[in-house]
Structure 1
Amino acid sequence: MNDTSTQGWLRPSEQSFYRRATDLTAWVRREMNWKLTDFLSPREFQIVESVARRDGCLAVGYGGAAASERLRAYVMPDDWQPQKEDFNITLLQAQTLEGELSHGAVLGSILGTGIDRRKIGDIEVREQSAIVAVCQDIVPFLQTHWVQAGRHAISLTVTLDDAFVGPQYDDELVSLASLRIDALIGACCHWSRTKAKEAVERGDVSLNFTEVSNADEPVGTGDIVSVRHFGRIRIHETIGESKKGRLRIKVGILKSNH
């Protein structure tokens, strides 16, 4: 991959991150040393991995569980095999004695303490508790300042990695006329194209955790589409075309608990 060819697979909104990834691999090659990132979205990790491969480096990711979506990446000048503990990830369990927690309340309350989103990995909610993967360096701060999620007071404990399984998607095959975000949402949510388009225009849809406003936004393998009050859709691969020319797409669907 060279700078010219990236124009074919990078979105305009990703150019800034691509430049940061290029600067990262340049530092690794110059210093002949490894570099550990904060948590990356799946698309960001894909970009880092591609740039590292182009520049003769290696990128390895881990997010606290085998199925984690958000990963910290080690970018390395040679084939060093980091262990789980090398990624400096701590799993915190938030517990409340009243009501149920939601993903939005947990994430919102952490961000409300002033913590950067990049310091937070996946969040797994289990009714009155939630497990959150975080960068190890922010644990003391959260233990002091993160005391509430939504309307509920919480207690925090450090938990073991076998308590955290990561997002569990249900695989499905869908048929699309084109790889547009509104077509994907319509097929996966069982909505009309009009309803899907309205959801995008209303600001209820994000692509790789960034809000989108164009219903005709193209999507592809590895993309994650989040739809408010529905959940997340992850595009695994294009299987092929039907006799009528429609695309057969393998996706994963993760329903929201709101």
Structure 2
Amino acid sequence: MKTSKNSLFHTADKSTQNNCIPFNRWYQDFSTLYKQVTYATIKCMYSDIHQLREKISLNYKDQDRFILLKVLDKAQTAMKTWGYTCTDFLDPFKRALVRDLLFHIKGLQYIEFGGYENANRQSFVFMTSDMSKELFEPDQMFALVSVTPTAGIDALTHRDYLGAVMNLSINRDFFGDIVLNPKGCMIIGKKSIIETIHTSLTNVGKYTVSTQMESLEGIIVPEEKVKEQSISVSSLRLDGIISKAFHISRSDAADYIKSGKVFVNYKETIDLSKSISENTVISCKGLGKMELLEVSGETKKGRLRIKINVYQ
């Protein structure tokens, strides 16, 4: 039985060969279908973003509104270019707002990047749902620089390094954490900003400094100071836990909550009686941050025994 050497389909039966779809026709059909699906996906995403813009304009304060609209601009750019785009570096409170927003955009995915695990300030990197998170290379968008004083290392603080960078007319949102280490500090941020710091930063306070570009994997992160405690509370109410964890009166805890200084999982709450579950992070402006690890049982007097982490 003969088979043409030039045939795309090597079949034993000529009638079977005639029933096969030529590759070029199959590719055209697939390409057309893919474009239709892609167009429908993008149209849906644009519709979601348009609705969110209206919602933001009506329901958010000026500063939050500005940040969220910029985030939507970046998401829309990712859809237009079919590439990766990144936002400014946001603190945990702003990122909590953004996550709630992104939940409503179908076909969009993201990662949060801050250079290391549990970084305080992180950037959202957007991509469409058919792109791979694993293929994203952080060094395309971000960079790391080390800053080493020639003297006065022990005298310099986080505020000193931050002030020196801000004096270069660099927006605080364009770079992430300033991580102190025994030699000075490391700063992570958008690539162009970090290159500017590398070439322009010569002094921190009264001390001369040298800078060096580093690989992102070379960041030196000090261990976070955490103290685990076991305390007893009458219930899992927010005001009661804050009172015990930060050693203040129940009425003072209530004042903190009512004044908008308390955040549960980085979302503001004014509900004194809010029930707190395990693995919940509570932040209090002026007091600190804690996490409820577990409810470990009851005392003989019927109070709840809980384990918490207090971050120092």
Normalised by the length of structure 2, the TM-score is 0.57
Q: Does 1:168 align with 2:224?
A: yes
How far apart in 2 are the matches of 1:62 and 1:75? 11
Which residue in 1 is equivalent to 2:132?
80
Identity between Structure 1 and Structure 2 (%): 14
Q: CA RMSD in A?
A: 4.5
CA offset at residue 140 of structure 1?
Answer: 3.5
Q: Does 1:132 align with 2:182?
A: no
> Compared with structure 1, are the counterparts of its residues 142 and 91 closer, same or farther at alpha carbon in structure 2 (3 Å cutoff)?
closer
CA offset at residue 246 of structure 1?
Answer: 7.3
SS in 2 for 1:164: coil
Q: Considering fraction of residues, name the structure with more helix.
A: 2
One-letter identity of the residue aligned with 2:116: A
One-letter identity of the residue aligned with 1:67: N
Question: Which among 92, 99, 109 is matched to residue 146 of structure 2?
Answer: 92
Equivalent residues, number: 237
> Compared with structure 1, are the counterparts of its residues 103 and 77 closer, same or farther at alpha carbon in structure 2 (3 Å cutoff)?
same
CA offset at residue 129 of structure 1?
Answer: 0.9
CA offset at residue 225 of structure 1?
Answer: 4.5
- 8 Å Cα contact 2:245/2:310 also seen in 1: no
> Which structure has the bigger radius of gyration?
2
Which residue in 1 is equivalent to 2:28?
none
Question: Which among 203, 210, 213 is matched to residue 155 of structure 1?
Answer: 210
How far apart in 2 are the matches of 1:96 and 1:226? 35
Q: Does 1:21 align with 2:71?
A: yes
How far apart in 2 are the matches of 1:239 and 1:114? 45
Q: Mark the runs of 5 or more structure 1 residues left unpaired by the alignment.
A: none
CA offset at residue 239 of structure 1?
Answer: 4.8
Normalised by the length of structure 1, the TM-score is 0.67
One-letter identity of the residue aligned with 1:148: N
How far apart in 2 are the matches of 1:104 and 1:198? 29
How far apart in 1 are the matches of 2:75 and 2:183? 42
One-letter identity of the residue aligned with 1:157: Q
How far apart in 1 are the matches of 2:67 and 2:211? 33
If asked which structure has higher relative contact order (CA below 8 Å, sep 6+), I would say 1
Which residue in 2 is equivalent to 1:53?
103
One-letter identity of the residue aligned with 2:103: R
Note the 1:37-48 alignment, pairs <5 A. 37-48=87-98
> Compared with structure 1, are the counterparts of its residues 17 and 134 closer, same or farther at alpha carbon in structure 2 (3 Å cutoff)?
closer
SS in 1 for 2:103: helix
